[in-house]
Amino acid sequence: MMTSGMFTNYFLPGIWITVQVTVYSALLAAAVAFLVGTLRTSRLWIVRFLAGCYFEIFRGMSALVFMFFLVFSLPLMLRWQLVPMWAGVLALGLTYGAYGSEIVRGALAAVPVAQREAGVALGFSRSQRLRRVEIPQAWPEMVPPFNNLLIELLKGTALVSVIMVSDVTFAANLVRFANNESAPVYTLLLVVYFAMAFVLTRGMRLLERRAKAGVGQEQPRGGLLRRGLHEDAGEGAGALTAGGAAR
């Protein structure tokens, strides 16, 4: 049976590494998602094309294969090596960033055209419009799909155990080698991941509520507009979650 020493000596440090990998790769993925997602709405076709290429390549690529490429191929080809943990973060961040860019693009496209036109009429520059008008309104719509993506990312972090990063899956494998009791070890591991996913989902729900409230508060007088936005959000979210089934 698993002793408590095994838990504190192996599982707890592993959980901490998993949390770190999740946080770093989520930050990288968010940066990539916003960058590529906004670039894909650019007016210049070449920018749209390049951002689209990035999206298609990383959406088609398996994160695990890309991780192995970073850890084993890159050092041999370029004579330049990444620390395994950063290789894992890079692979997860770039891959999930590509999925996230589609969420950002979709949410930006769902902002009513009148908002964009109003920004133009007020003489906002393109970046001002994005920053002040389009992204704040698209944000509440992005949060629920980002939540799903974050859970996928958390699950993806188990892959870094394969490239010798001592995350919680790696720790569980070590414990199994040590005492050959696989049932309690892997059951506990599954429960740990489930608990982390649960905490993340709760956090994102909170964020979602705040984001929705934020949009409402910024438009104190516009009761009509608020309702309009709300309906729009419902439609957009439905289309995103049901994968086009709702249309």
Nearest to 109 by CA among 38, 214, 43, 212: 38
DSSP 243: T
Per CB under 8 A, 113 contacts other proteins: no
Residue pair 215/137 in contact by the 8 Å Cβ criterion = yes
Burial of 62 (0-12, 13-18, 19+ CB in 10 A): exposed
Per CB under 8 A, 176 contacts other proteins: yes
Nearest to 91 by CA among 35, 167, 156, 23: 156
Per CB under 8 A, 1 contacts other proteins: no
Residue pair 165/21 in contact by the 8 Å Cβ criterion = yes
Instruction: Report the nearest approach of other proteins to the CB of residue 117 (Å).
Output: 28
Burial of 33 (0-12, 13-18, 19+ CB in 10 A): buried
* Contact code string over 216-245 relative to other proteins, x by CB under 8 A: -------------------------xxxxx
Spatial distance between the Cα atoms of 18 and 223, rounded to a whole number of angstroms: 44
Instruction: Report the nearest approach of other proteins to the CB of residue 133 (Å).
Output: 30
Instruction: Report the nearest approach of other proteins to the CB of residue 135 (Å).
Output: 26
Instruction: Report the nearest approach of other proteins to the CB of residue 21 (Å).
Output: 12
Task: Pick one of 50, 109, 158, 207: the residue that binds other proteins (CB under 8 A).
Answer: 158
Q: Tokens for 178?
A: 């040590």
Task: Pick one of 35, 47, 50, 64: the residue that binds other proteins (CB under 8 A).
Answer: 64
Per CB under 8 A, 169 contacts other proteins: yes
Name the residues that contact other proteins, by CB under 8 A.
56-57, 59-66, 68-69, 72-73, 76-78, 151, 154-159, 161-162, 169, 172-173, 176, 182-183, 186-187, 189-190, 193-194, 197-198, 201, 241-247
